Amino acid sequence: MAKTISKRFLGGIAVILFTILLVLPSGNSRVENLLIPDAHAGFFNKDLELFDEVIDLIADKYVYSPDFKRLFSAAIDEMLVAADHDRFNVRKTSTGQIIKANKHQVQYNLNYDQAHDLASFKKVYHFLLDESHGRYTKEQLETAAVIGIMNSLDPYSQYLDKSSFDKSMRDTEGKYGGLGMIVTQKDDQLMVVKTMKNGPAQRAGILSNDIFIRVNGRNVKGMQIHDLAEVLRGYPNTKVTISLKRPIENGSRTYTLTREIISIETVEYQTLDKGIGYIKINSFSKQTNDQLKESLAQAKVDGVKAFILDLRGNPGGLLNQSVKVASHFLYRNRMIVYTQGRRKSDYKEYRAQYKNSLLHMPIVVLINRHSASASEIVAGALRDSGKALIIGENSYGKGSVQTIFRISNGSGLRLTTSKYFTPSGIDITEHGIVPEIKIVKEIVKGETIGPESIIQGEKGLRTPSIQLREADLEKFFKEIDTKTVKEPTQVKQVERMENDINLRFAHMLLNNLTIANKKQTLDKAREIAANIHY
């Protein structure tokens, strides 16, 4: 009997030890910190498991070598905020800092050593916990510390609680369902702007200007638009009941709709005159490349000879979609972008994929200060290829890659793990994409305008380019219009472009061009610029 009990006991210990090995966080794990953080924790104490996991992920995966002194300082500062900072007296000393509450105090110092700073942080954590007297919980204090750390890294790294993490996963995986309607808030009312083609809302007969009354029996009065959006969206094949009031009718109509995957139209296409195709990409989602293929097929039917690719206001999206989009206009296997993490081994190249591309067609790319991330990858790749001409403003400069990690408690981290660079090695975060032809509202003091202007380019170089002012271009086009007799077939095209100076200038550059040659396009731009009265 004793032997059986002994075997069971040893077996239990083996299971416990095996389980402990399984739950060790990935990366630079430290067993001593996980099992016995300090005197406050027993063998099975779970205090700061989340925090330890986050620190190890940052130490292992973050794009830059972590500054642990800054990280732990940010964690302590955020914990003090959560614990009601006014209750504590914080002062610096020659050897570190002291936090005092009533008759109790804790003294600590931070350097740049991870283990040392972690031990100092835990002293502060347990001191604040002892002083809580029920005002805040362990979870609230720990979460505050994690948020403090993540907010100190960069603008794109962040902590995602379980709800935010689940939402992010649904969005990334394309599993988020909707009703196929665009909603706005006007005069404190939530109303339908329009319904999407063949979506659940359109099939049910919902119309523009219908006003929301209730959602799932809940009165929407006082609800904000983002709150309504959260209620309307959800997993596909789940139901939502909405009551709407139609302005021309008395009473309300109630609909029970089933959510579906809604395919957002990220690509707009139109064939302009002179055989020029206009492609507007609003973002890079899972559907973007498929939608672009449809547009290019239509362009082929229409006999298009050149393209204007409009990436203005495009905030980015999926990296693989930007690679596919750029591939349509480049030689197969030409580099489009490369990413580099902290270590030399964290290097990856992305190259053009298609054998039958449109690389010989002239193309102009439009960007502005709101063109970011994936749109900068496309613009940078096409510019560096020597085929495309870039027109507009300097782009946003968002050249970092974020990876989403699942944490063991169900929450997650969005962590910057690498940066991406154009084929010529330009750091997009530092410089953005600088157009060869800048079209600006006003000229900054000391800058020049005209066909041989000198503007600030990449890597701090002052680069020859063309810099034009919108007002001068508007005047130039008005002078042309007064001398030109418009044919009926041109009127619609002119109306589209008359309020879009950048688009019209791009259209003018592509007139009569037959090959993709940046020098030839730029020479034509200089010729036009020389005829503008400044």
Catalytic residue list contains 384:
yes
Residue 152: alpha-carbon gap to chain centroid: 18
H-helix or E-strand containing 158?
strand 158-160
CB 348 within 8 A of CB 419: no
Distance (Å) of CA 515 to CA 5, 502, 519: 85, 21, 11
Catalytic residue list contains 398:
yes
Nearest residue to 170 (alpha-carbon basis) of 182, 181, 162, 159: 162
The one catalytic residue among 371, 384, 438, 453: 384
Cα angle for residues 272, 273, 276 (degrees, 5° grid): 60
Catalytic residue list contains 373:
yes
- Count of CB atoms within 10 A of residue 448's CB? 11
In order, the DSSP letters of 255-291 are EEEE-EE-----EEEEEEGGGEEEEEE--B-TTHHHH
Residues in the chain: 534
Handedness of CA 269, 272, 276, 280 (dihedral sign): negative
Give the residues across from 478 on adjacent strands. none
Both tokens of 209, joined, read 């200007």
Please tell me the distance from the alpha carbon of residue 49 to that of residue 250, in angstroms, as a whole number.
Answer: 57
Task: Give the helix ranges, DSSP H, for 357-449.
Answer: 374-384, 428-431
Radius of gyration of the chain (CA): 29
- The residue type of 484 is T
Using the structure block, give the residue that is written with the tokens 């049910």: 204
Nearest residue to 231 (alpha-carbon basis) of 205, 257, 208, 203: 257
Task: Give the helix ranges, DSSP H, for 131-192.
Answer: 138-151, 162-173
Please tell me the distance from the alpha carbon of residue 97 to that of residue 90, in angstroms, as a whole number.
Answer: 7
Handedness of CA 62, 68, 74, 78 (dihedral sign): positive
Please tell me the distance from the alpha carbon of residue 111 to that of residue 96, in angstroms, as a whole number.
Answer: 9
The one catalytic residue among 322, 371, 373, 418: 373
Both tokens of 196, joined, read 């999407």
Distance (Å) of CA 402 to CA 74, 156, 261, 284, 319: 21, 7, 25, 15, 10
DSSP state, 435? P
Contacts of 366 (CB under 8 A, 6+ apart): 308, 309, 310, 311, 312, 391, 392, 502, 503, 506
Half-sphere exposure of 343 (CA within 13 A, CB side): 6
The one catalytic residue among 122, 398, 419, 518: 398
- The residue type of 518 is K
Backbone torsion region of residue 392, taken as left when φ is above 0, otherwise alpha when ψ lies between -120 and 50, otherwise beta: left
Residues annotated as catalytic (active site), given as ranges: 373, 384, 398
